[in-house]
Structure 1
Amino acid sequence: MQPMTEIDAFIAPYVGECFPAISLCVYQAGREILHGAWGWVDPNTKITPAKPDTRFDLASLTKLFTTTALLTLISEGKAELHTPLVAILPEFGVLTPRPMDGGQDPHTKVTLPTPEEKIGQFVDPSLVTLYHLLTHTSGLPAWRAVFEASGAAPASPIQVDPIPREVRWARALAALNEYAFVSQPGEEVRYSDIGLMLLGEAVTRLSGARDLAEAIQQRVLDPLGLSASTFNPVQAGWALGDLVPTEIDFTWRKRRIWGEVHDENADGVGGVAGHAGLFSTAGDVARFGAAWASMQVPGIAPELMAEATSEQEVTGAERRGLGWMMRSHSGSSAGDLFGARTYGHTGFTGTSLWIEPDKQLVVACMTNRVYYGREKEGIYEFRRALHDWLWKAIS
């Protein structure tokens, strides 16, 4: 690796411009070779600097923990890859057939028009399998305003929410079981938060846990010793000074998001969901990645791990394993130098985890780039530059 001063020089121009805080942890061949943090927890006061153990909102990196929990259940024989979702969630198949529409834009929240070729088409929801959910080929929409079905905006994390989490999730699940599809199951790769929210419920029921948080704790966090990872961190006892804030929500929660999940749908259901909600450190995420890189995740059969980290489905530039995003052949946020077998995931708040299996290289990068607003650009370019820089430094 290059000296720490050179890493400081590389990251410095991005702090305060692309994000207020960043924590980076890199493993190679099971050994930590870099762990540092830059920036401030609160860039307005600049009282508390970001530290290696500062916690970040993982956003969609949560999906990796949900799918890892499911793969342990499949390895135990509790289900199979091609088990229909209705075998676990019978209510998912009650409303059938379901129409197709154009979905809803996750950023603008605008309802999209139904493509002409899909008008009048219907889908049998009983065709959706766990494999479809893992590979984002279920035909379910990318996003819907689930939070609107779950109830009023939740109280801030330092207050008691008047709507119990169980009630919020029950309302949301009823809505999830009725949404229209955007394509036929197995037709194409289309990234879907809705699919992962349903997958989280499947994990809960198959595991017999009280909720998804308990299932992930028992099946992923505890076996890997990831003690700095949790849902609903303030309720878990973490101080706000240990957590970086994200953006100001001017429309729904009407406050700076700090100590609660940025994603509206995850917050709307009580902070615990299969697609988002976990908070963690770069170190914990890197250790999770290192377990995958070494093919030694407790409870998952080696052949299933190999299947999960290899290409299963592809549509255009979208390559998918089982839960994992495979590095696209061009324009990847992992840069241009990581090998073709690289797999990982990104999170909307500015987090990412990429694993290059040939070099046993794991890069966990945590930022809160949405602090300046979700439309702020620059994170894609930073991610590409970072991974290319690290590759050259290590090589």
Structure 2
Amino acid sequence: MLKLQHGIFILFFFAIVSANAQAVETMRNSIDSVVYEAINAKAFPGCVVYASKGDSVFFMRSYGHHTYDSLRRVAVNDVFDLASITKVVGGTLAMMKLYDEGHYQLEDPIGRYIDKIGKIGKVTFREVMAHQSGLYPWIPYYQEVRRKNGNFKKNTLSFTPDEDYTYALSDSLYLHAGFYEKIKKMIKKSDVSKEKKYRYSGLFFYLIPELVERFTGMSYEDYLVENFYAPLGAKTLKFNPLESISSKQIVPTEIDTFFRMESIHGKVHDEGAIMMKGVSGNAGLFSNAQDLAAVLQLFLANGKVDSLQLLSPQTIQLFTAVQYPSNENRRGLGFDKPLLTYDSIASSVAKSASFFSYGHTGYTGTLAWVDPETDLIFIFLTNRVYPSRTYRALYQQNVRPTIHQFIYDYLQAIERQPDDPVENTK
């Protein structure tokens, strides 16, 4: 009987291995097909697809090239402009730590801690972080700096550098050292809707660096590095990456034909973030897939890495939960969530993504998503805005949710394997 059981086990083991190999091949072929079709349709020149379950990375693959000239292939460790993913692994991450440290309460008005912000100061942290405050969606700062005659306004931009204009936005455009006060003034003057309903806005996230410095005495960038990126070993997750990363490892974004008038490569694509010297809570972070995953893994690990408790589990649960479901608002605090009613056209994530999942998209075509119900992390890094933001095939072909669903299908396939037959013979 023992020999029979042993023989059954061996046959069953090879059956599982074969079934798992088939599931892997099906997933890989499906993803390959979608990505190559998207590249051919000029959805993006290249991308990196990453997926892990728990501590195990089961899919990490690079596709295509940095640009359509096909001179440099994308590698899995290449660095991409994360765009609005910065909101969750930068701005929101800092706000979570500040909340843990007791610096503010969610029902506090933001004007209690941010000076010279006017009527916007009446909205609460919960409202602005859940996009329920009525703030105006965005401000084209690069347009607001020009007079009607085309000249730059005082203390804004200059074509020549000097002691006041030190930060290079491009090869021929320089930012005034005190420009942040101009940004605050524009935010102060912007519209605030009296109707409290969901309206996505990035304006508050430009103010987060000031909050961090006021509460802690540290710069926003140093605060993130010391409390998160360094303990996590996330060396490529950073602002202004050209200061320490070779341009060959950084994937270009857009060829700017309306503001900076050059190819954007290694500087943040977002026009607002670049006018904060590349460091904001709204955009500005660059990373490879592995280092971005390290932050997402921290959320799945209830805020703990090794022996360090970087965030409390309660804060992670609070910030990643829907805040205003009765107002048809799916958002958490800083985090995006699945649509309250799934729509295959409107959704950026798979239909199988659980209600408890969360993450964020980025304007450059990026996506980072965490599902605690399945311990799944999914990352899609790309530069869909190359050579121009008018390229929309990424959305038209539903590339990201389709790949995301293939990954869920794979997990469901391997979970359907039968139990150990030796156990079943007892």
TM over 0.5: yes
> Which residue of the other structure, out of 201, 209, 221, is the alignment partner of 2:229?
221
Instruction: Specify every segment of 5 or more residues in structure 1 that has no aligned partner in the other structure, as ranges.
Output: 94-123
Q: Residues 341-352 of structure 1: matches in 2 within 5 Å?
A: 341-352=356-367
> Which residue of the other structure, out of 234, 242, 247, is the alignment partner of 2:254?
247
Distance 1:188 1:264 in 2: 26
* Residue identity opposite 1:258 in structure 2: H
Q: 2:330 aligns to what SS in structure 1?
A: strand
> Which residue of the other structure, out of 73, 77, 80, is the alignment partner of 1:53?
77
1:333 is matched with which residue? 348
In 2, are the aligned partners of 1:23 and 1:282 still within 8 Å (CA)?
A: yes
Distance 2:182 2:367 in 1: 31
In 2, are the aligned partners of 1:168 and 1:270 still within 8 Å (CA)?
A: no
TM-score normalized with structure 2 length:
0.78
- The alignment yields a C-alpha RMSD, in angstroms, of 2.3
TM-superposed deviation, 1:213: 2.0
Distance 2:121 2:182 in 1: 21
TM-superposed deviation, 1:239: 2.0
TM-superposed deviation, 1:358: 0.8
Aligned length: 359
Give structure 1 regions of 4+ aligned residues with deviation exceeding 6 angstroms.
none
- Provide Cα deviations, 1:104-128, integer angstroms capped at 9, x if missing partner: xxxxxxxxxxxxxxxxxxxx43421
* 2:180 pairs with 1:172: no
Q: 1:348 aligns to what SS in structure 2?
A: coil
1:382 is matched with which residue? 399
Instruction: Specify every segment of 5 or more residues in structure 2 that has no aligned partner in the other structure, as ranges.
Output: 1-22, 146-154, 160-166, 413-426
In 2, are the aligned partners of 1:153 and 1:253 still within 8 Å (CA)?
A: no
**Cα distance 1:256–1:13, how it changes in 2: closer, same or farther (>3 A)?**
same
Q: 1:358 aligns to what SS in structure 2?
A: coil
**Cα distance 1:228–1:153, how it changes in 2: closer, same or farther (>3 A)?**
farther
TM-superposed deviation, 1:337: 1.7
1:81 is matched with which residue? 106
Identity %: 27
The structure having more radius of gyration, on CA atoms, is: 2
TM-superposed deviation, 1:156: 5.8
1:2 is matched with which residue? 24
TM-superposed deviation, 1:317: 5.6
2:238 is matched with which residue? 230
- Provide Cα deviations, 1:70-97, integer angstroms capped at 9, x if missing partner: 111111112222222112112213xxxx
Q: 2:314 aligns to what SS in structure 1?
A: helix
TM-superposed deviation, 1:157: 6.5
1:142 is matched with which residue? 137
In 1, are the aligned partners of 2:320 and 2:358 still within 8 Å (CA)?
A: yes
1:151 is matched with which residue? 156
- Provide Cα deviations, 1:118-154, integer angstroms capped at 9, x if missing partner: xxxxxx4342122122111222110112233483378
TM-superposed deviation, 1:188: 1.2
> Which residue of the other structure, out of 185, 210, 215, is the alignment partner of 1:206?
215
* Residue identity opposite 2:393 in structure 1: G
Distance 1:129 1:53 in 2: 39
Distance 1:38 1:319 in 2: 32
Q: 1:256 aligns to what SS in structure 2?
A: coil
Distance 1:315 1:353 in 2: 26
1:105 is matched with which residue? none
> Which residue of the other structure, out of 309, 312, 331, is the alignment partner of 1:320?
331
TM-score normalized with structure 1 length:
0.84
1:43 is matched with which residue? 68
Distance 1:169 1:240 in 2: 27
* 2:294 pairs with 1:287: yes
In 1, are the aligned partners of 2:114 and 2:121 still within 8 Å (CA)?
A: no
Q: Is the helix fraction higher in 1 or 2?
A: 2
